[in-house]
């Protein structure tokens, strides 16, 4: 049997239990009605599972006060280190959900596009497959339909989908003009009514705080999205934060850690807010992941791409009423980035691979299969 055919057969067999969850009985048991997909750009699995990396806490890596940074984030035990860095991830998702990608524990998650940078990674995540036409970060309208657009075409989700991103390329990644739902990104103000005084102030702060040409500070992107959630209660929300990638490229490890910690605080606040709202409480699944990894030494941690093979290594986390609380996964079958789209649809009771044959299969364990 040709190797390509064998791999395809293995994927089909792996998908079978997950697709079985879309039966009428399974849908009747399903509690998830909403999904939040949160991504943080280029956050390494090494910090997610091991916390601060001692090799990188140095002035050569942009740490002005190594002793102070160690007091904040260094612990002798890796489990304590990672919880100091990302307490919500490990105290809540790690206890009540599932986290994949700790290669040291036999859990591998990888991108399949072979390029290991942002636009190809977001396309793979959102569409469920890699596309050789997506080979740059240029602002080119995505020819592919994302799972968000696919859901938005369905009556149950029409007008209930929204996307927010710190990076100004997201309107092109989602092909916003074609997709028809709000995509707010970069330094663009959010103009969807109602424009509360708080939102008006956020729009102003965003416009007056430019550091990077193409990426707004995470805090403004996050709070803009949170205002939208409170006002419009979308059923499917995308949120991407970008400072983890920006500070890493700048070679500033302390700022990279601080931004990772703020991302964790942001998803904690989003989740806490959701649990106070009738539309979301006990009816929402959170998916948390990244678009690519980074190198694994004192120089290559700053970057990623085809020439840095380690940057293919990523991670995924899931929390919701239909996901068994298995915590940190160990010795699991390898997963790929292209499985996120189908998993997102499946927790909503939708069979994405049936419509998009080249999409990766749902992650069966996340669906309780």
pLDDT digits (tens, 9 = 90+) for 346-358: 999 999 999 999 9
- Statement: residue 26 has pLDDT above 70: no
Q: Please give the average per-residue pLDDT across 296-316, as a whole number.
A: 97
Please, which pLDDT band fits residue 25 given cuts at 50, 70 and 90? low
Query: Is residue 80 within 8 Å of 50, Cβ to Cβ?
Result: no
DSSP letter, residue 366? G
pLDDT of residue 353: 98
* Phi/psi at 197 (5° precision): -55, -35
Residue 347, strand partner residues: none
- Statement: residue 292 has pLDDT above 50: yes
pLDDT digits (tens, 9 = 90+) for 96-117: 999 999 999 999 999 999 999 9
Distance CA 73, CA 118 (A): 27
Distance CA 70, CA 84 (A): 11
Distance CA 12, CA 190 (A): 42
pLDDT digits (tens, 9 = 90+) for 149-185: 999 999 999 999 999 999 999 999 999 999 999 999 9
- Statement: residue 79 has pLDDT above 50: yes
pLDDT digits (tens, 9 = 90+) for 328-341: 999 999 999 999 99
- Statement: residue 57 has pLDDT above 80: yes
pTM value > 0.85: yes
pLDDT > 70: what percent of the chain?
Answer: 92
- Statement: residue 8 has pLDDT above 80: no
Q: Please give the average per-residue pLDDT across 26-52, as a whole number.
A: 92
Query: Is residue 367 within 8 Å of 18, Cβ to Cβ?
Result: yes
pLDDT of residue 144: 98
Q: Please give the average per-residue pLDDT across 207-235, as a whole number.
A: 97
Residue linked to tokens 């990426």: 215
**What separation in angstroms does the CA of 35 have from each of 47, 265, 347?**
25, 19, 8
Average pLDDT over all residues of the chain: 94
Q: Please give the average per-residue pLDDT across 63-87, as a whole number.
A: 98
pLDDT of residue 153: 98
- Statement: residue 22 has pLDDT above 90: no
pLDDT digits (tens, 9 = 90+) for 224-267: 999 999 999 999 999 999 999 999 999 999 999 999 999 999 99
Q: Please give the average per-residue pLDDT across 301-329, as a whole number.
A: 98
Q: Which of 308, 255, 263 is nearest to 289 (CA)?
A: 263
Q: Please give the average per-residue pLDDT across 194-204, as a whole number.
A: 96
Q: How many C-beta atoms lie closer than 10 Å to residue 331's C-beta? A: 7
Please, which pLDDT band fits residue 21 given cuts at 50, 70 and 90? very low
pLDDT of residue 191: 95
3-state class (DSSP) for residue 345: helix
- Statement: residue 12 has pLDDT above 80: no
Please, which pLDDT band fits residue 283 given cuts at 50, 70 and 90? very high
Please, which pLDDT band fits residue 10 given cuts at 50, 70 and 90? very low
Q: Please give the average per-residue pLDDT across 118-133, as a whole number.
A: 98
Alpha-carbon radius of gyration of the chain: 19
């Amino acid at each position: 049997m040709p190797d390509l055919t064998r791999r395809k057969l293995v994927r089909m067999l792996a998908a079978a239990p997950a697709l079985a969850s879309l039966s009428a009985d399974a849908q009747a048991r399903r509690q998830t009605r909403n999904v939040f997909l949160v991504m943080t750009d280029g956050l390494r699995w090494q910090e997610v599972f091991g916390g601060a990396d001692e090799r990188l806490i140095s002035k050569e890596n942009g740490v002005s006060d190594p002793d102070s940074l160690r007091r904040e984030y260094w612990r002798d035990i890796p489990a304590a280190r990672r919880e100091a860095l990302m307490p919500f991830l490990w105290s809540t998702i790690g206890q009540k959900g599932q986290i994949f990608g700790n290669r040291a524990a036999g859990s591998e998650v990888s991108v399949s596009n072979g390029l290991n940078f942002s636009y190809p990674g977001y396309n793979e995540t959102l569409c469920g497959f890699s596309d050789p036409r997506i080979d740059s970060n240029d602002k080119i309208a995505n020819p592919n339909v994302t799972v968000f657009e696919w859901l938005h075409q369905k009556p149950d989700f029409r007008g209930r989908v929204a996307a927010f991103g710190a990076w100004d390329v997201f309107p092109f990644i989602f092909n916003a003009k074609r997709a028809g739902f709000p995509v707010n990104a970069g330094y663009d103000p959010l103009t969807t009514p109602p424009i509360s005084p708080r939102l008006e102030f956020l729009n102003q702060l965003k416009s007056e705080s430019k550091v990077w040409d193409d990426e707004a500070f995470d805090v403004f992107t996050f709070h803009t999205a949170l205002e939208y959630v409170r006002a419009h209660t979308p059923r499917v929300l995308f949120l991407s934060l970008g400072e983890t990638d920006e500070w890493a490229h700048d070679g500033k490890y302390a700022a990279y850690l601080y931004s990772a910690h703020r991302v964790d605080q942001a998803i904690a606040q989003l989740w806490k807010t959701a649990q106070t709202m009738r539309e979301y409480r006990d009816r929402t699944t959170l998916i948390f992941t990244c678009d690519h990894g980074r190198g694994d030494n004192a120089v290559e941690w700053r970057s990623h791409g085809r020439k840095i093979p380690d940057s293919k290594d990523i991670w995924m986390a899931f929390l919701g009423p239909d996901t068994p609380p298995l915590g940190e996964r160990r010795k699991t079958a390898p997963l790929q980035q292209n499985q996120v789209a189908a998993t997102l649809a499946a927790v909503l009771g939708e069979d994405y691979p049936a419509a998009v044959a080249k999409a990766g299969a749902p992650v069966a364990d996340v669906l309780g299969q």
